[in-house]
Each structure stands twice: as C-alpha cells, then as structure tokens.
C-alpha cells in the first residue's frame, strides 16, 4: 500500500551542490573566500539575521568563526549588507568594507 504524501511536491534543485559543499566545508577544512582569505567554523554557529533601515545585519555569537587573511587571523563577529557595501566586523583585525559595484 502507498503511504499518503504530506506537504507538497517541488521540482528538483539544480546548481545547488557547490553551495551545499561549501557550507559543509566551512565546518571541516574551511572555505577559501579568495586567494589570501579563508573562513572556518570550529563549532556550532549561533547566527541572528534581521533587516534594519535597508541593511541586512548578520550577527554571530561565540564560538566565532575564524577568518584568516594572509598570515593574520581574527574572529568574524558581524556582517552588515546594503546595496552599496558590505561591512565586516572582525575581532583581532581591522574591520573591512567591501564596495558593491553591481
């Protein structure tokens, strides 16, 4: 006898596996953000997301993910995203602002 279906059917997702693999890698070997920058989580991530005045705010609690830039390392504490820039709050390193061109 067939089991009754619950919920609803959705089409399969394409082009998602690379993103899924990056999320898993964040908790094992870490992920490379560019040639000099990597990010690694050594424990569970406690993340809060909210929008405030046209800014997406992402805050993290301890244990913070570790971000390495060249031979420097620090903690990723928060990210603020607008349509013009991404501001990254780091512990142990200067904060970073990345301009959004398009």
Give residue 3's pLDDT band: very low, low, confident or very high (50, 70, 90): low
User: 17 in a domain, yes or no?
Assistant: no
Query: What is the span of the domain harbouring residue 41?
Result: 34-99
User: 81 in a domain, yes or no?
Assistant: yes
User: 87 in a domain, yes or no?
Assistant: yes
pTM score, whole prediction:
0.77
Number of domains in the chain: 1
User: 53 in a domain, yes or no?
Assistant: yes
User: 19 in a domain, yes or no?
Assistant: no
73-101 residue pLDDT tens: 999 999 999 999 999 999 988 999 999 99
CA distance 89 to 98: 12
pLDDT score of 2: 61
In 3D space, the residue among 30, 67, 63, 29 whose CA is nearest the CA of residue 46 turns out to be 63
In 3D space, the residue among 50, 54, 100, 101 whose CA is nearest the CA of residue 78 turns out to be 50
User: 46 in a domain, yes or no?
Assistant: yes
């Amino acid at each position: 006898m067939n089991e009754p279906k619950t919920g609803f059917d959705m089409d399969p997702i394409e082009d998602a596996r690379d993103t899924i693999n990056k999320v898993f890698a964040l908790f094992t070997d870490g992920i490379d953000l560019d040639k000099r920058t990597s990010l690694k989580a050594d424990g569970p991530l406690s993340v809060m997301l909210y929008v405030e005045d046209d800014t997406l705010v992402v805050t993290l609690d301890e244990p913070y993910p570790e971000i390495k830039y060249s031979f420097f390392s620090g903690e990723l504490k928060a990210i603020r995203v607008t349509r013009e820039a991404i501001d990254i709050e780091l512990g142990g390193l200067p904060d970073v602002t990345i301009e959004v061109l398009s």
